Structure 1
């Protein structure tokens, strides 16, 4: 079922039937949410002329990713990048994608989403796990720091291994923030009362989505780069990508 190998110089676990490559994320504790330091970094970008429009709506909605709290995350495997069209077709052979230019591109699911989630032998990440994976040990607006993320941080096709490897964060994960990735949690504005152990919040209603900057490419000058921030979150409304999670194999 699993093959342990080295991918781009890092340990990886390949799900043999589908070919999906996973990375192991170690247990740890981190500060989840949009911190005051991150807000200050975004404000500095705006004051230095890095914003195309006013960022007041972003600041007004900051409470959706607050209060910042300490979260304990247990080890897990997470896909190196969102599932591609070809990978989704392993479980849904009739799947067609109107958004991707190639089978190696990120699959964006609408009507097929529930069918895929039912067919997958994996689960969705909780949003606490997703943000932990995106931050990869950092506390800045993206894993690259507090500078304005640019279009060079977008990755939407994984047919070029060299480019995929160059885009990885410290956990060996590529394209965190590029596509709108659905999480296991139900959408609840803010983190008041949220668990401290990375469990998803469950209930009725739309799920949480993280990322999505590539979904709006080519950027129209509406500060789409904000979707690359590790803490940006919103509720699922349209198509979404899937980056599955699995338990760490028992031999580890």
Structure 2
């Protein structure tokens, strides 16, 4: 890497003897697998069923570089590949060596909360994420449902931007039966967290405002009962 540095290298679809060596070297090979869209072929009316067709599946590495305008040079068995970050903008992969090498730029990602250790007792399962970016400041918010011990919690975290760390999650709603979340902000710098919750055998939407790092009071947004009494009270 010229005019920059390689800070991380991870394998993509690595198997068997595929391996990473530091931040600039790796060894991997492609392998045949069932062709996309051919996993469940129609069986012929007569004769023995044919196995699904196979083709080489690509694998490779995810390289993270740092710098104002880094240039990456890859020395591979088929030849040399050289590119800059500007050569492969998001959504526009670049092909080299007659289609043997594909370079694709990926957005920076971070893990808000790592998964539980294997065989952990009552691990937390995070699901149904909602993401919001405040257009004036670029501040980012993430809310999700965390399931543990047969109960759900609605959690919310924030960060100042893609290069900042996520805050510790705060609890918008405690243990209960919750399903999905939506986020939206208002012009007075207030974020609203809205989710559905089942209480007393009735599903409704609930919301809480969030401003300056503090959650406001909960608001029930849909007060209509699921089983209204029949007309006349009968």
Please, what TM-score do these two structures have when normalized by structure 1? 0.20
Please, what TM-score do these two structures have when normalized by structure 2? 0.21
Give the number of the structure whose residues are more often strand, by fraction.
2
Indicate the structure whose relative CO is greater, using CA pairs within 8 Å and at least 6 residues apart: 1
**Which structure would you say has the larger Rg?**
2
